[in-house]
Amino acid sequence: MNYEQDNLTLAKLFEFARTEDSFELKRYLQPDNSAVTEIEIPPTFRFVRVGSIAPRAFEDAIYLKSVTVPETIRSIGIRAFDGCASLENIVLPARLKIVAGGLFSHCNSLRRVELPDGVDVIRPNTFSQCPELEEVVLPSGMCMLLGNAFIDCPKLRSVIFPEDNTITLLGRTFINCPQLPAEVMMYSLIGSNDIRLPFAYNAHFDWDAALRRDVFELALQHNSFEHVGKSMIFTSIIDRDLIELLPLAAGMLDNSLSETLADYSADHGKAEITAWLLNFKNGRGEKTIAEKIDKMFEL
């Protein structure tokens, strides 16, 4: 439905607030029936540019199926379309710069979204709990994915990343996205085939939530952990009982580290992994460690 740009019609559909140089769309005034399913947000109101959409402006607009956002919009506030359960299509402006968190949370009918190139950060919960979401095209200028950007998207199969970008992952990005290929998840972590976690996250990174087992294995195969602490990699393997992945990580080991990890493994009751680590040390020309294994496991 294409609305005439007369103020009376617009005032019945939207609440606007004057800013320094434009209007902000504060709220969509939902009609009391389901007749209005398509909305084109006006580029002007009272001959002044509409430059932004306020937080929660369209929240729980359950009848809307299609929304077109004009090129005048530069920023969209937090949870602006949260709970738009029928939303199937949204057209975003090419010049959009800021997409706040929770933008499409609980959009139960949304299947595909293409974000414009000006957006450089995907914020928390942008696509949380979108049960029908299958594909997202990320913008060419994107450099950072924040925690929980994608959570509980059970049909998500495709996330198209920009070429030649290194993406920084802060926190847990893909949670409960079982259909997403390991290669896609790994690329979100590594950019140019090299996982780089911000220093503060190295000690506290939640591998179990952020890296499915198949992604973890693929990253090991690609030797993508140059900038991640070796101890963190191996303690993750030990904690998750992934003894079959130890050979993939063997190139990171030296005798001292293998012995330290063997002690850690023994302390956590991982007999098979401990034996592997000690045998690795022995295989590097160290003296026999059979007595040590006997003592640990009373063999």
Q: Tell me: the pLDDT tens digits for 241-251?
A: 889 989 888 88
pLDDT range class, residue 87, cuts 50, 70, 90: very high
Yes or no: say if 17 and 54 are a contact pair by the CB < 8 Å rule: yes
Number of independent structural domains in the chain: 1
In a domain, 22, yes or no: no
| CA 254-257-261 angle, 5° bins | 135
Of the listed ranges 32-36, 184-188, 252-256, the one predicted with least confidence: 184-188
In a domain, 247, yes or no: yes
Those residues with Cβ within 8 angstroms of residue 104's Cβ, 6 or more apart along the chain or in another chain = 81, 82, 84, 87, 90, 110, 113, 126, 127, 130
Yes or no: say if 43 and 49 are a contact pair by the CB < 8 Å rule: yes
Q: Calculate the alpha carbon distances from 240 to 97, 258, 259 in Å.
A: 41, 17, 19
Q: Tell me: the pLDDT tens digits for 250-263?
A: 888 888 899 899 99
End-to-end CA distance of the chain: 78
Residue 106's SS3 state is coil
Partners of 103 in the β-ladder: none
Amino acid identity at 145: L
- pTM score of the predicted model: 0.68
pLDDT at residue 285 greater than cutoff 50: no
pLDDT range class, residue 129, cuts 50, 70, 90: very high
Consecutive H or E run containing 189: helix 182-190
In a domain, 131, yes or no: no
pLDDT of residue 167: 66
pLDDT at residue 192 greater than cutoff 50: no
Domain residues for the domain of 285 are 229-299
Yes or no: say if 99 and 124 are a contact pair by the CB < 8 Å rule: no
| CA 167-84-28 angle, 5° bins | 110
Q: Which of 151, 208, 216, 163 is nearest to 189 (CA)?
A: 216
Consecutive H or E run containing 75: strand 75-76
In a domain, 295, yes or no: yes
Partners of 68 in the β-ladder: 40, 91
Distance CA 94, CA 99 (A): 12
pLDDT of residue 237: 87
In a domain, 191, yes or no: no
In a domain, 275, yes or no: yes
pLDDT at residue 48 greater than cutoff 80: yes
Of the listed ranges 58-67, 75-84, 195-204, the one predicted with least confidence: 195-204
Distance CA 171, CA 258 (A): 29
pLDDT at residue 97 greater than cutoff 80: yes
In a domain, 24, yes or no: no
In a domain, 260, yes or no: yes
As a residue count, the chain comes to 299
User: Who has greater pLDDT, 147 or 202?
Assistant: 147
| CA 20-16-82 angle, 5° bins | 110
pLDDT range class, residue 233, cuts 50, 70, 90: confident
Distance CA 28, CA 207 (A): 41
